[in-house]
Amino acid sequence: MKSTHRSTRRHNRTLLACALASCMLLAAPQVLAQSTSATIRGQVSADSTPAGGATVKATNLATGLTRSVQSSGSGSYSLGGLPPGTYRLDVTANGQTNTQNITLQVGQTATLNLGVGGVAETAPAGEATTLEAVHVTAPLAVETKTSEVATYVSQKQIEALPQASRNFLAFADTVPGMIFETAANGSSKLRSGAQNSNGINVFIDGVGQKNYVLKGGVSGQDSSSGSPFPQLAIGEYKVITSNYKAEYDQISSAAVTAVTKSGTNEFSGDFFWDRTSDGWRDPTFSEEMRGSKVPSSEEQYGAALGGPIIPDRLFFFATYERKEINRPREIRLGTSNFDPAYITPEILSYLGSANAAFEQDNYFGKLTWQASDDHLIELSAKRREENEVTNVGDGPNVPSYGTRKANDSTRVDLRWQWSGDTWLNDLHLTSEDDFWSPRPITIGPGKSIRSTLSNFNDGDTLLNIGGGPDYQDKGQKGQSLQDDFTFTGFDSHTIKAGIKYKSVKINAFEQQPYNPLFRYDLAENIDDGRTAIADFLPWRVEFGAPLPGVGDRDVESRNKQYGIYIQDDWAVTEKLMLNLGVRYDFEKTPGFENYVTDPTLVAALRNWSNIHGPNVDYDIEDYISNGSNRDADKNNWAPRLGFSYDLFGDQRHVIFGGAGRSYDRNLFDYLALEQSKSTFPRYTYFFGTTDHPCAAGAANCVAWDPAYYDVANLYSLVAANPNLGSEVNMIKNDLETPYSDQFSLGMRNTFTVWEHDWNTSAAIAHVRSYDGIVFSLGNRWPDGSFRDPAKPGATWGSQPWGFPIPGYGTLILAENGIETRLNQFLLSIEKPYTNSSPWGVTIAYTYSDAEENRLNAANSDEHYNFDYPNLDGLPFITSVGIPKHRLVATGFGDFWGMTFSSKLTLASPNPKDSTNCYNTTSTDNCYFDSFIPDGTIGFKQLDVALQKTWNTGTDLEFYVRGDVFNVFNWKNYTDYDTWRGVPGNANPNFGNRNGVGTVWPPRMFKLSFGLHW
C-alpha cells in the first residue's frame, strides 16, 4: 500500500522548492566560498565614508598566492577562493593605503571591514596566532555570520590533543552533536544525531568521499580499524552538524570539510613514530577475569615533506603513514547456557587468547602550481592499502573461522581555480577506485558446536571452528566533473552556482556463506559416545550454491549522478545576512532500474494464494520488475535557508538560524540483495539425527554421509531443484531517496574574560529523517495474515516463517520506511590558542532527545524488521546508542617548555534495545521497549599527553611525547541483561550488567618520538 505520508511530503517538498526558486529569481545573485576555500568580505572606508573602487589585495605569506578585487560603489568587497592560511591584506583607496594580516580557516567566510586615512579597521574577534612556517603573527578570523551549525578543528588541536588511532575524524567529537565510535573489534565510525553513520559525508579539498555501496558514510570506513586519510596530510577541518549550504551533497546528517596541506616557499618535513604494547596497558576486564593478558601491540610511523620547486609558483607535498596493530582477542564459549559436564578437553583447548592483525599503508601527494595571479592548479592523489583479520575471538570464533579483509582506495583530484575581478571558477576532475574484499582465512567446512538446552531446534553457539562464511568483493570506480562558479559583481551579494556529473561503476559481489556450515549438538554426540569433534555427526548444514546457468554473479551498476545548485549570501544590512540556496540531485542506477524479476519466480508468486486475498497488506505487483516499471527518484529538490543577525554590528553577539532539506542515497549493498540472493541462494538441509529428527521423504531431509563435507556433493543435492529453500529478496519498484529536514536557532557570543576572548555558541536543532530502507518478512499464513489466525488479537510472534514461496524459500520485502526524530541542545565554549596566550580550552555539550521507528535496533545500522509486517503506524521508541547527555572537554597549552593536553569525555548511559513481555497480559502481545541502564554516567574517559620539544639551534626540532589513555582505568561496560521477563514472572537481572564486554582501551601508555624541520 502506498504510504500517505510519502505522497503528501512529495507534494509539499515540490511546492517548497518552487517557492524558494521563485524567491531566488527575485533576489540579486551572490556566491559563497568553496567548501574548503575561505572568503573575506566586508566594507572599505576612506576618511569615514564608503570607498567605492578601492583595491583590496590578499597575499598568502607562505606561498605568495595573490588575489585582488575592487570594492563596489557602496564600498563593499568580497575575496573568495582563498586557501586557508595567513594573508597580508593591502587596501588602497583615494591614494591612501593600509596593511594588516589575518589568518583564515577552512571553508570560512570572514567579515573584515577595512579603512584608510585614519579610519580604524574592525578586525574579527580573536587574539594573535603564529604561522611558524613564515614566522608571521596575525589575528585569527572568527566566523560568526553564518547560519550553519558548525565548529572548526584546528591544526593545533590535531597536533596537541591525545589520540590513539591517528584517524583525523576522531577529533570531530570535540564538536557538539558528533560521536566518534570505536567498536570492540577496533573498527571506528563517525555519526551525528539519531541517524547512523551512513548519513555522514567527508569532503577533502572540496571533493566528497561518499561510500555508495557500504555502510560508514565515508569510503573505506565500513568495519575498518584504519584511517580514511593520512593525518599528516590534513591541515584543519570544519564540522557542520546541520543546515549546511547548497554546495554540500549526498548527505543527511553531518558534513566534515577538510583541507590538505600544501608545500610552501620553505622546505619542511615531519617524522613520527609511536608504539604501545600489552606491557604498557592494564588488562581488560575479560583478561582480569582470566588472570592473564593477551599479547598485543600497536605501532605507527610516517613522514611528510614539502617545499618549493619554483618559489612562489610551484610547490610539492608528500606524506606516508604506516599502521601495524595486533589486537588482543579472547576466544570463549558463546553462551553460559550449557551443561559443564559436556565441555571436553578438546573444546577447552580452543579457548584462550588470540590476536587479530591489522596493517595499513596510507600515501598522499600534492603538486600546487600558481601559474599566475589568476590561475591556481593542484594535482593530488591518495592511495590506501589495508589488510585486516576480523571475526576472531571476543566470543566463540576461533582463528580458523575468521576473515582476512583487504580494503584499498585510490583517489586522484585535478583542480583548477581561475579568477577575475568579480568571479572565481573552481573546476575538479576526479577519479576514484575503492574496493573492500573480505575472504575466509580457511577454505573448508565450518563447524558450529552448539548447546541445545534452550532451543531444541537450533541452540546456542558454543564454538565455531573450520572455515568461515565471509566472501565478498564490493566497491566503486569512476570519474567525475565538478564545477563551482562564484560571482561577486552584485553589491552586497555573493552568488555561487555549481554543477556535478559523475559516472561510477558500483558492484556488490558476495557468496554467503562461502564455506558450508555444519551444526553439531554437543550433548547429543557425547551421549552417543563421540567425544572427538572430528567424529561428531552434524544434524544440519547451511550452504550457498551458484545457480546453474548464471554466468557472472557480480551485481554491478554503471551509475550516472547529476547535481546542480545555486546559493546566495546576501548582506541585507550591516547586521542582517541571509543565506538562500537550493540544490537538485538525480541519480540513475541501471542495476536496480533495469532489473527483470525472474519469470519463473513471478509465476510462483502470482500463483501463491497466501499473498492474495483480503487479509494481505501489500501488493506483490509493486515489487515485480519488468525492466521498465522502475524509475529514478526525480523529486530531490533541497531548499536551504538561513540567516544571521549581528545585534550590535561588532560580530560579538550574533543570532543565527536556518531550515533546509538534504538528500542522501540508498546503499547499493542493499539494492544488490535482490539479485545476489537469486544467483547464490542459501539452503538448509537436515540429517535426521536421534535428537533432531526430520520428516522422512521431505525434500530437505537426507541421511548423513561424510561425503557431504565435500561442497560439490552438497551442490548435487540442489541440482534438480536449484531454488528450493532459497531466500528471495524483492525491492519495491517506487523506491525513494532517504533525506532529512533540519531546523536550527542559536546565538554566538564573544566575551572577554580575564583579558582573553572566549567564543560561545548555543543552538537548538530539530532534525527529522525519512525514507530509510527496511527489509521485512513477506511470507503470509494461508489466509493472508501476518499473525497466526488461531491467535486472534495477537500482536507479537507467530510470524509465518513456515510458509515460504512454493518451490523457493522465505520472501523478504524491502521498501522505504525508517524514520528518526531528533531534538538537540548544542553548546560549545572555546578559548582559542593564540601566540600571546598559548593555551586553549574547548567544551562541547550535547543534549539529545532521539526517537526512531527502527525497531529491534540492536545497533544504529539495523535495517531488518521481522517482528511486524511493516513499520506503518508503529510507535517511535528511544534511539539506541545515543546518550541524552554528552560532554567533551579539552585543554592544551605550552608551559615550561612543554606542551600539555587533555581530553575528558563523559556521557550518560546509552539506551538499550529490549523486548517487553512482562508488562503484558500474554507473550502474544510483547512489544519493543528500549530502556536506559541505571547510572548517571554511562561512559567516562580521561586522556592526557605531555610533549617536550628540543630546538637544536638549526631548522631541526625533535620531540618526545607520552600519551596516557583512560588515566583512571574506568571500565565502560557494554553488556546488559535486556530480558524483562514474562507476564507474572519478572527477570530479576533485567537491566543489570552481564558479560565481560567493555569499551577499549583500558589504561594505556603510548610513547612517541618525532622530528620537524
pLDDT for res 857? 61
Average pLDDT of the segment spanning 266-294: 93
pLDDT for res 12? 46
pLDDT for res 338? 84
Tell me which residue has cell 531444541. 456
Region of poorest pLDDT, from 30-39, 176-185, 392-401, 703-712: 30-39
Average pLDDT of the segment spanning 413-425: 94
Average pLDDT of the segment spanning 824-828: 98
Angle at 945 between CA 942 and CA 951, to 5 degrees: 170
| Distance (Å, whole) CA 896 – CA 309 | 38
Q: Beta strand pairing status for 255-260 and 234-242?
A: antiparallel
pLDDT for res 731? 98
pLDDT for res 858? 58
Contact between 818 and 854 under an 8 Å Cβ cutoff? The reply is yes
pLDDT for res 443? 95
Tell me which residue has cell 510472534. 797
pLDDT for res 995? 82
Contact between 780 and 805 under an 8 Å Cβ cutoff? The reply is no
Contact between 462 and 396 under an 8 Å Cβ cutoff? The reply is yes
Most confident of 15-19, 728-732, 949-953: 728-732
Amino acid at 465: I
| Distance (Å, whole) CA 548 – CA 98 | 79
Percent of the chain scoring above 70 in pLDDT:
93
| Distance (Å, whole) CA 272 – CA 303 | 6
Q: What is the pLDDT of residues 488-541, one digit of tens each?
A: 999 899 999 999 999 999 999 999 899 999 999 999 999 999 999 999 999 999
Q: Which residues contact 935 (CB under 8 A, 6 or more apart)?
A: 908, 909
Q: Give the CA radius of gyration of the chain.
A: 30
Q: What is the pLDDT of residues 763-789, one digit of tens each?
A: 999 999 999 999 999 999 999 999 999
Q: Please give the model's pTM, rounded to 2 decimal places.
A: 0.90
| Distance (Å) of CA 671 to CA 506, 596, 647, 676 | 11, 13, 50, 9
Secondary structure letter of residue 401 according to DSSP: G
Model confidence at 724, pLDDT cuts 50, 70, 90, reads: confident
pLDDT for res 644? 96
pLDDT for res 621? 98
Does the pLDDT value for residue 13 go beyond 50?
no
Does the pLDDT value for residue 25 go beyond 70?
no
Amino acid at 136: V
Query: How many residues are recorded in the chain?
Result: 1013
Model confidence at 859, pLDDT cuts 50, 70, 90, reads: low
| Distance (Å, whole) CA 523 – CA 518 | 16
Model confidence at 452, pLDDT cuts 50, 70, 90, reads: low
The reply to whether omega before 1001 is within 30° of 0 (cis) is yes
Average pLDDT score over the chain: 90
Contact between 241 and 249 under an 8 Å Cβ cutoff? The reply is no
What domains appear along the chain, each with residue ranges and CATH number?
A: 31-139 (2.60.40.10)
**What's 706-756 look like in SS3?**
HHHHCHHHHHHHHCCCCCCCCCEEEECCCCCCCEEEEEEEEEEEEEEECCE
Q: What is the pLDDT of residues 151-174, one digit of tens each?
A: 999 999 999 999 998 999 999 999
697: its cell numbers: 521423504
Region of poorest pLDDT, from 255-264, 304-313, 457-466, 646-655: 457-466
Q: What is the pLDDT of residues 207-219, one digit of tens each?
A: 999 999 999 999 9
pLDDT for res 727? 87
pLDDT for res 289? 87
Q: Which residues contact 493 (CB under 8 A, 6 or more apart)?
A: 27, 28, 29, 30, 31, 568, 569, 570, 571
Model confidence at 810, pLDDT cuts 50, 70, 90, reads: very high
Q: What element of type H or E holds 527?
A: helix 522-527
997: its cell numbers: 564486554
Does the pLDDT value for residue 32 go beyond 70?
no
Q: Which residues contact 564 (CB under 8 A, 6 or more apart)?
A: 497, 498, 499, 500, 583, 584
DSSP structure string for 695-719: -TT-TTB----GGGGSHHHHHHHHS
Higher pLDDT, 95 or 689: 689
Percent of the chain scoring above 90 in pLDDT:
71
Contact between 390 and 403 under an 8 Å Cβ cutoff? The reply is yes
54: its cell numbers: 578601492
817: its cell numbers: 520506511
Does the pLDDT value for residue 83 go beyond 70?
yes
Q: What is the pLDDT of residues 310-364, one digit of tens each?
A: 999 999 999 999 999 999 999 999 887 788 889 999 999 999 989 999 999 999 9
Region of poorest pLDDT, from 905-914, 945-954, 990-999: 990-999
Tell me which residue has cell 544525531. 193
Q: Which of 236, 193, 235, 234 is nearest to 217 (CA)?
A: 193
- Taking the mean position of all CA atoms in its chain, how far away is CA 109? 26
Average pLDDT of the segment spanning 231-250: 94
